[in-house]
Structure 1
């Protein structure tokens, strides 16, 4: 895999480190590519990754060589999502795309020696950018994070010592003999 640079979030970096350790145990051919990706990566905190960077669970439009554009969600494991809509980072293409920026091209070499150029055309959705947008909107609306709403507050129910609470039921509360 050749690329000018790669920007990984701390989470994505940790996922790749675990993947590398597991793959080394089985002498997987993708180990060399994982080592190259991890050694050349710029690692940034999750909250400061650019919105045009491909991260795990990002929805990406990309082209392979001169072929038609494809849209996939970059996932950690193949089983997530409908068939054909996701691309695992356990594949050479998926691993190559992780950390790339919109407009960036990288070349990936397959086990059979075949090379293909991958161009990131667009990052349609990035979970980190979406999370930042929601937080900014919540702060602007002066709401609690993630749209949570306070239902009960013990502090608002505070009364000075010795003060009695008002009665909850003001109507007749005797159900009569039929309740027995």
Structure 2
């Protein structure tokens, strides 16, 4: 895998470190790619990652070589997503996509010498950005006044349910014979 710069959250970096230790124990061929990803990545706090960067559980649109655009959710384990809608970070493509930004291109080299190029077209959803947006909305909601707002005023002759209405009388109104 050749890549310019990639940016990982501390959480995603930790996931890759654990994955590397487990894969080393079995002499997995993806170990070299994991080591390169970890050594060449910029690591940032979760709350400051750019929303156009692919993180775990992000939904991204990408192209492989000159092929059609594909939309996938990058997952830690493929078992957690519906078939065809997820891309596991344990695969070469998934590992390559992790940490890439919209518009960025990277190349993957396979053990047989074959190469493919991956270009990120869009990041449709990123959990970190969604969490920040929700937090900002919550802060904005807290800045609003907590008092009651009158949205409708009923006429005075309408009484609450269960209350009996009395006789409505004005100054010039004669109460009639029943008042005598």
Partner of 2:133: 133
* Structure 2: stretches of 5+ with no match in the other structure: 144-180
Deviation at 1:112, TM superposition (A): 1.6
Which of structures 1 and 2 has the bigger CA Rg? 2
Q: 1:1-180 counterparts in 2 under 5 A? A: 1-142=1-142
SS in 2 for 1:132: helix
User: Is the partner of 1:142 in helix, strand or coil?
Assistant: helix
**Structure 1 residue 80: Cα displacement:** 1.1
Aligned length: 143
SS at match of 1:141: helix
SS in 2 for 1:33: helix
CA distance in 1, matches of 2:62, 2:88: 14
For 1:90 and 1:111, how far apart are their aligned partners in 2? 16
Report the 3-state secondary structure (helix = DSSP H, G, I; strand = E; otherwise coil) of the residue aligned with 2:87.
strand
Offset of 1:111 from its aligned partner?
A: 2.0
- The normalised TM-score by structure 1 is 0.79
Cα offsets for 1:43-100 (capped at 9, x unmatched):
0000000000000000000000000000000000010111000000000000000000
- Between the aligned partners of 1:21 and 1:113, the Cα distance in structure 2 is 25
Distance apart, 1:113 and its partner CA: 1.3
Offset of residue 119 of structure 1: 0.2
Structure 1: unaligned runs, 5 residues or longer: 144-180
Query: Could you tell me how far apart the structure 2 residues matched to 1:110 and 1:123 are?
Result: 25
In structure 2, what is the Cα distance between the partners aligned to 1:85 and 1:110?
23
- Alpha-carbon RMSD across the aligned residues, in angstroms, is 0.8
Which stretches of structure 1, 4 residues or more, deviate above 3 A after TM superposition?
none
SS at match of 2:83: coil
Query: Normalising by structure 2, what TM-score?
Result: 0.79
Whole-angstrom distance in 1 between the partners of 2:113 and 2:94: 17
